[in-house]
Amino acid sequence: DTAVSQTPKYLVTQMGNDKSIKCEQNLGHDTMYWYKQDSKKFLKIMFSYNNKELIINETVPNRFSPKSPDKAHLNLHINSLELGDSAVYFCASSPPRGGFIEQFFGPGTRLTVL
């Protein structure tokens, strides 16, 4: 009964390929996020969706496209992968605003671009 799950856990691919990472949460939360963590552990938000609607879109290359088929899922598709995309990508979710906003993180997907 994992709260926030991501697949795959590891992803190794060649430059130029297209890949997707999937995220699902079973917490009933309305808001989901994608973060990128670089090799120095710096954590940067990429996108946030609330009830399938994009609400935060940081300065991220167009090659990254999030998709939220329903409020329990937020997938990340990356086109034309580059070496600099190598990082750990974390999905997270949080409950509706109005109460305490804790973010629940998935276990991460380590992407390595060769």
Q: Which residues bind another protein (CB under 8 A)?
A: 4, 31, 40-43, 45, 48, 50, 55-56, 58, 90, 92, 97, 100-108
Nearer to another protein, 65 or 108 (CB): 108
Sequence-ordered alpha helix ranges (H) in 1-114: none
Confirm if 35 and 84 have CB atoms less than 8 A apart: no
Nearer to another protein, 15 or 101 (CB): 101
4, with CB counted inside 10 A (0-12, 13-18, 19+), is buried
CB-based burial, 73-100: b 16+ in 10 Å, e otherwise: bbbbebeebeeebbbbbbbbbbbeeeee
The least CB distance from residue 60 to another protein, in Å, is 13
Nearer to another protein, 4 or 113 (CB): 4
The least CB distance from residue 11 to another protein, in Å, is 15
Nearer to another protein, 53 or 82 (CB): 53
